[in-house]
Chain A
Amino acid sequence: MDFLRPASWEEALAAKAEHPTAVPIAGGTDVMVEINFDHRRPEYLLDLNRVGELHEWEAGEDSVRLGASVPYAKIMEHLRAELPGLALASHTVASPQIRNRGGVGGNLGTASPAGDAHPALLAAGAEVEAESAARGARRIPIDDFYTGVKRNALAPDELIRAVHVKKADGPQQYSKVGTRNAMVIAVCAFGLALHPETRTVRTGIGSAAPTPVRARAAEEFLNAALQEGGFWDNGKVITPSVAKQFAQLCSAACNPIDDVRGTAGYRRHAVGVMARRTLTWTWESYRGARNASKGAA
């Protein structure tokens, strides 16, 4: 196995162009496990740790440009206000040691349905900035990024440079079920973001389908129900029947399997419960903020 150590982003792109089979490694959270378990023996490892810019982030007007290697611990610490859903998801990643090393780029590169960041990225609305030496940079909408089980939309010569996530314009929540109270791979996970500016709701489901998915029918139902009832304006409590139907539609968006971590039936059920609870939490938070701002006015 050859270990390539580019000193800059340009060198990294050149190396990837020359060796399209090279597996990029930053935190090593996924890659090292696969190598240790002998699940894969890449010909080349492409170490991105010398590319300093990948560890940086920049909060712009509307979105945050998050370097691919920014560790989860930094997201939790510094981006809680801008990216609340992703910060909550980061909290659930493995152990403190791993949160100091692992970043969103690795989650996207592996594209495992169990990756903790995916539901939050889907709910918030993100774009993946990919680049190749030959064709330059492009932005891939998160909705188009996951193409199959552990497959993504990257070309063989492309690397993930950053992910652009919209800054929260409303409350976001993230829940994950595991059979242990910390340091556990998701049995299933759910992300929810309210977008008051566009009066829409977005969701993300993890570990309950071959890829991370949005519960589109559930979103459409909820968008319509919120619109019809004038909820965005009147700030009323969401009726239990609406929450229930939203939960059922989220369950229906799952296409899970039975495996050693849980049953398909449980995953569908748990996604429904998480959908209902996160909807309640985000909506109560939205109402609270709305009432507080009215009170101030």
Chain B
Amino acid sequence: MSSPKLPPAFAQGGAPTGAPTRITQGSKTKGGIGESTLRPDGILKVTGEFAYSSDMWHEDMLWGQILRSTVAHAEILSIDTAEALATPGVYAVMTYDDLPAEVKHYGLEIQDTPVLAHGRVRHHGEPVAIVAADHPETARRAAAKIKVEYRELPVITDEASATAPDAILLHEGRTDHHVGHVPHPNIVHRQPIVRGDAEQAAARADFVVKGEYHFGMQDQAFLGPESGLAVPEEDGGVHLYIATQWLHSDLRQIAPVLGLPEDKVRMTLAGVGGAFGGREDLSMQIHACLLALRTGKPVKIVYNRFESFFGHVHRHPAKLYYEHGATKDGKLTHVKCRIVLDGGAYASASPAVVGNAASLGVGPYVVDDVDIEAVALYTNNPPCGAMRGFGAVQACFAYEAQMDRLADAVGMDRVEFRQLNAMSQGTVMPTGQPVDSPAPVAELLRRVKAMPMPPERQWESSEGADVRQLPGGLSNTTHGEGVVRGVGYAVGIKNVGFSEGFDDYSTARVRVEVVAGEPVATVHTAMAEVGQGGVTVHAQIARTELGVARVTIHPADTQVGSAGSTSASRQTYVTGGAVKNACELVREKVLDIGRRRFGSYHPAWASAELLLEGGKVVTDGGEVLADLVDVLEDEAVEVEREWRHRPTEPFDLRTGQGNGHVQYSFAAHRAVVEVDTELGLVKVIELACAQDVGKALNPLSVVGQIQGGTTQGLGIAVMEEIVVDPVTAKVRNPSFTDYLIPTILDTPVIPVDVLELADDHAPYGLRGIGEAPTLSSTPAVLAAIRNATGLELNRTPVRPEHLTGTA
């Protein structure tokens, strides 16, 4: 693909490092980038009018229901579907034996997940059979009538049981490309990163701190449970309306199992109620399509909350072992660490999570001598995969705890110690990759520390204690007794985009034409809008690049090329970049038409410095040459193009060296908490954040993302955890009654300081932003609780029993 010929003002890389990119084209067009234009679906969502995937309805449709395993690890001796099939209203019951194609497994990277269990179940809640009936209750009852005979097997729940010499193999006969380099077949992937000589450097250390940390299993807890509608089509294919994060990735996994070519599986994005990584893997997609093709009728499947806890992967729980050293003047000497992630029964995104945890394992610091190892296990615990922060979250929790302890050992202020060791542009990562765009780590810490502190004892009022301001809130547990304030800091580093050599591209189709006397741009991508605000930003980019007021965002579907995943903080960068690129190509074509039609009327047409502004062709001096309407007449200009960011490389399997990442994203937090030290209850008073976003395309969205990410990090700090029974490997709290997420009373004031230092390699200098705030929020809250209580607290979430010695 040839790059568009652009006047110098449009070219990337022209702006001086560290300054916002100068943008000429579109700077006078209203509703362009840099403005806080409102979400098109915002009011609908707030008023309850928005149609989510679970709201879909089709005449004559059936309801699908999945029967799931009641045990974590067992051989399936028999499945008897006779009684279920005989239930009036039931149209189909399917098991593994009914799968129509040779391909019966799927997976994001490793196709190890059976569509329906075959002879064995490997985790609690694994799909065993599916039912379609004319009423959801009929389907549910019929599923309950399927008799499955299990012979239970010992459960593998941790590293020791997974790698024991006599351990049962979760996946015998592995053929994936990791099996050759893992130390045990129950390890999905192992990534060492070795740089310098950590052993030798340790000898120079005046202070060494060692720690062991435990990170709990977090759920994405998106509010719209998994759901979709599969409609059989006359050509023998199927049309799936689905809430997902990546239509084309789903398509690639669905079609082979249905025995259909990809062009016979059409997909349209349905209303997505949040994702956070939990919709990267398939859930009910294949099941709905199978039942629709089997019955010849539309089939809808909607999980309830209980099933949703079993229906998607979670954030990997982790055990992390760290050793840090420093000289007495506070310079880091070395870091050694070992990160053990529990991937659960199937691979999902585990290999990539391992790569992130390893390559970002020391955090945003300068250390020349590192020795890192990250592994992901196969166990009988719930499968774990993508969630906001993706491997970097677990590491940040541990290395930031270590940095506090090391600062204390050296006798330095914790923030100054971090600033002294902070990376900056030019720092070489443990992978050997130089950081070649701004990395304002010390500055973010300075900013977050400089914010005014929230006043003390805000609960005191003339009418006594305001319990809403106190730990325990409305539960009225303290009127100030036992309450101690603590402050903590943390900073983190997250990669943006898909790494390790992945061909991470997006496609955009942009069209401009005159509709009802007005120039209108249409942007068509397959980008999944999951709440991140891509639909808003795409319209802003089109306005900026094409100088039109009206932009139509076409529904996302597979009638256009892949937009990649809405994850890894990548969509504004990559699909935004694709939209920008397609718009630039359209603009060139429009100007060509203009030159052809009107070039002879004005010498300025020959100049390359023409802009589209306010529906007109103008010179960069502001002189109007023509109306866009007159240039286009009844011609439509359309371009569809793939767009790629800079390529990356895989990490060396032995040393971890390689330019594996595209871009880095940094955020710092200061947490102020008040802890009822007697009852072990925590109130987070404030979580201040400073983040470099490169360029805020939509400042309101940016702040919203930062506040949301910060809150999700708070959740894992003090309440969110899927509890898995260590004896049975069964989930103990699959409901919002016992899996707690922060309410508005738990959510503190979140002041946000947005820094905009352009990354010259990225469109508009922007930086992916969605995940970084989730990293540093958790360790900042933990640090603040440690500060208030004096306790060590090496696990998250912190529960009242950990703060009161009653665990």
The chain A residues found within 8 Å of chain B, CB to CB, are 33, 36-37, 88, 91-92, 173-185, 187, 260-263, 265-266, 268-270, 273-274, 277, 280-281
The reply on B502 being an interface residue by CB < 8 A is no
Q: In whole angstroms, how far apart are the Cα atoms of A185 and B740 in the complex?
A: 10
Given known contacts A181-B683, A260-B732, A263-B806, A274 and B477 CB-to-CB distance under 8 angstroms: yes
B471–A181 contact, CB under 8 A? yes
The reply on B47 being an interface residue by CB < 8 A is no
Contacts of A181 in B (CB 8 A): 468, 471-475, 681, 683, 743, 745-746
B475–A273 contact, CB under 8 A? no
Beyond A92-B476, A175-B472, 14 extra complex contacts between A and B, CB < 8 Å: A37-B306, A91-B476, A175-B477, A179-B799, A181-B471, A181-B472, A181-B473, A182-B473, A184-B475, A266-B680, A274-B679, A277-B478, A277-B479, A280-B481
B801–A262 contact, CB under 8 A? yes
The reply on B600 being an interface residue by CB < 8 A is no
Q: Which residues of B in the span 673-729 have a Cβ within 8 Å of any Cβ on A?
A: 678-681, 683, 718-719, 723
Q: Which residues of B in the span 717-757 have a Cβ within 8 Å of any Cβ on A?
A: 718-719, 723, 732-733, 735, 737-738, 740, 742-746
Q: What is the number of contacts between chain A and chain B, taking CB atoms within 8 Å?
A: 101
A260–B306 contact, CB under 8 A? no
A270–B679 contact, CB under 8 A? yes
B475–A177 contact, CB under 8 A? yes
Q: In whole angstroms, how far apart are the Cα atoms of A273 and B805 in the complex?
A: 14
Contact of B800 among A173, A262, A268, A274 (CB under 8 A): A262
B735–A37 contact, CB under 8 A? yes
Q: Which of B474, B475, B479 has the most CB of A within 10 A?
A: B475
Q: Which of A36, A91, A273 has the most CB of B within 10 A?
A: A273
A92–B680 contact, CB under 8 A? no
Q: Which residue of B lies closest to A278 (CB)?
A: B476
Q: Which residues of B in the span 427-479 have a Cβ within 8 Å of any Cβ on A?
A: 468, 471-479
A290 to B: closest C-beta gap in Å: 18
B672 to A: closest C-beta gap in Å: 15
- Can you report 11 A-B residue pairs in the complex whose CB atoms are below 8 A from each other? A88-B476, A91-B474, A92-B475, A177-B477, A180-B473, A180-B719, A260-B733, A262-B800, A263-B806, A263-B807, A270-B800
Contacts of B482 in A (CB 8 A): 273
Contacts of A33 in B (CB 8 A): 737
A266–B804 contact, CB under 8 A? yes
A113 to B: closest C-beta gap in Å: 15
Q: Which residue of B lies closest to A284 (CB)?
A: B479
The reply on B559 being an interface residue by CB < 8 A is no
A183 to B: closest C-beta gap in Å: 5
Q: In whole angstroms, how far apart are the Cα atoms of A132 and B743 in the complex?
A: 42
The reply on B304 being an interface residue by CB < 8 A is yes
Contacts of B746 in A (CB 8 A): 180-182
Contacts of A277 in B (CB 8 A): 477-479, 481
Contacts of A266 in B (CB 8 A): 680, 800-801, 804, 806-807
Contacts of B745 in A (CB 8 A): 181-182
Contact of A92 among B474, B479, B719 (CB under 8 A): B474
Q: In whole angstroms, how far apart are the Cα atoms of A179 and B797 in the complex?
A: 11
A248 to B: closest C-beta gap in Å: 14
Q: Which residue of B lies closest to A41 (CB)?
A: B141
A169 to B: closest C-beta gap in Å: 21
B683 to A: closest C-beta gap in Å: 6
Q: In whole angstroms, how far apart are the Cα atoms of A177 and B807 in the complex?
A: 16
A184–B733 contact, CB under 8 A? no
B377 to A: closest C-beta gap in Å: 23
Q: Which residue of B lies closest to A95 (CB)?
A: B743
Contacts of B800 in A (CB 8 A): 177, 179, 187, 262, 266, 270
Q: In whole angstroms, how far apart are the Cα atoms of A262 and B481 in the complex?
A: 22
Contacts of A187 in B (CB 8 A): 800
Q: In whole angstroms, how far apart are the Cα atoms of A89 and B486 in the complex?
A: 30
A180–B801 contact, CB under 8 A? no
Contacts of A88 in B (CB 8 A): 476
Q: Which residue of A lies closest to B742 (CB)?
A: A180
A176–B680 contact, CB under 8 A? no
Contact of B740 among A92, A179, A280 (CB under 8 A): A179
Q: Which residue of A lies closest to B306 (CB)?
A: A37
Contacts of B804 in A (CB 8 A): 266, 269-270
A177–B801 contact, CB under 8 A? no
Contacts of B679 in A (CB 8 A): 177, 270, 273-274
Contacts of B719 in A (CB 8 A): 179-180
Contacts of B479 in A (CB 8 A): 277, 281
B792 to A: closest C-beta gap in Å: 18
Q: In whole angstroms, how far apart are the Cα atoms of A193 and B807 in the complex?
A: 30
Q: Which of B304, B476, B482, B745 has the most CB of A within 10 A?
A: B476
Q: In whole angstroms, how far apart are the Cα atoms of A183 and B740 in the complex?
A: 9
Q: In whole angstroms, how far apart are the Cα atoms of A179 and B743 in the complex?
A: 11
A184–B476 contact, CB under 8 A? no
A180–B476 contact, CB under 8 A? no
Q: Which of B481, B745, B806 has the most CB of A within 10 A?
A: B806
A176–B476 contact, CB under 8 A? yes
Contacts of A270 in B (CB 8 A): 679-680, 800, 804
B796 to A: closest C-beta gap in Å: 13
Contacts of A268 in B (CB 8 A): 806
A183–B743 contact, CB under 8 A? yes
Contacts of A92 in B (CB 8 A): 474-476
B306 to A: closest C-beta gap in Å: 6
B477–A176 contact, CB under 8 A? yes
What 1/0 mask marks residues of chain B from 786 to 807 whose CB sits below 8 Å from any chain A CB? 0000000000000111001011
Q: In whole angstroms, how far apart are the Cα atoms of A281 and B732 in the complex?
A: 37
Q: Which residue of B lies closest to A261 (CB)?
A: B738
Q: Which residues of B in the span 475-500 have a Cβ within 8 Å of any Cβ on A?
A: 475-479, 481-482
Q: In whole angstroms, how far apart are the Cα atoms of A266 and B799 in the complex?
A: 10
A75 to B: closest C-beta gap in Å: 14
Contact of A260 among B718, B738, B742 (CB under 8 A): B738
B711 to A: closest C-beta gap in Å: 13
A86 to B: closest C-beta gap in Å: 13
Contacts of B680 in A (CB 8 A): 266, 270
The 10 closest A-B pairs by CB, nearest first: A181-B473, A265-B806, A266-B806, A182-B745, A266-B801, A176-B475, A181-B745, A260-B732, A182-B743, A180-B740
Contacts of A273 in B (CB 8 A): 482, 678-679
Q: Which residue of A lies closest to B747 (CB)?
A: A181
Q: In whole angstroms, how far apart are the Cα atoms of A88 and B807 in the complex?
A: 29
Q: In whole angstroms, how far apart are the Cα atoms of A177 and B678 in the complex?
A: 12
Contacts of B743 in A (CB 8 A): 180-183
Q: In whole angstroms, how far apart are the Cα atoms of A173 and B467 in the complex?
A: 13
A178–B475 contact, CB under 8 A? yes
Contacts of A176 in B (CB 8 A): 475-477
Contact of A177 among B481, B681, B735, B742 (CB under 8 A): B681
Contacts of A180 in B (CB 8 A): 473, 719, 740, 742-743, 746
Contacts of A185 in B (CB 8 A): 737-738
What 1/0 mask marks residues of chain B from 57 to 101 whose CB sits below 8 Å from any chain A CB? 000000000000000000000000000000000000000000000
Contacts of A179 in B (CB 8 A): 681, 718-719, 740, 799-800
Given known contacts A177-B681, A181-B683, A265 and B475 CB-to-CB distance under 8 angstroms: no
A143 to B: closest C-beta gap in Å: 24
Q: In whole angstroms, how far apart are the Cα atoms of A276 and B719 in the complex?
A: 26
Q: Which residue of A lies closest to B304 (CB)?
A: A36
Contacts of B473 in A (CB 8 A): 180-182
Q: In whole angstroms, how far apart are the Cα atoms of A173 and B479 in the complex?
A: 12
Q: In whole angstroms, how far apart are the Cα atoms of A281 and B679 in the complex?
A: 17
Q: Which residue of B lies closest to A93 (CB)?
A: B474
Q: Which residue of B lies closest to A179 (CB)?
A: B719
Contacts of A36 in B (CB 8 A): 304
Contacts of A261 in B (CB 8 A): 738
Q: In whole angstroms, how far apart are the Cα atoms of A160 and B807 in the complex?
A: 39
Contacts of B474 in A (CB 8 A): 91-92, 181-182
B609 to A: closest C-beta gap in Å: 58
Q: In whole angstroms, how far apart are the Cα atoms of A81 and B746 in the complex?
A: 29
Q: Which residue of B lies closest to A183 (CB)?
A: B743
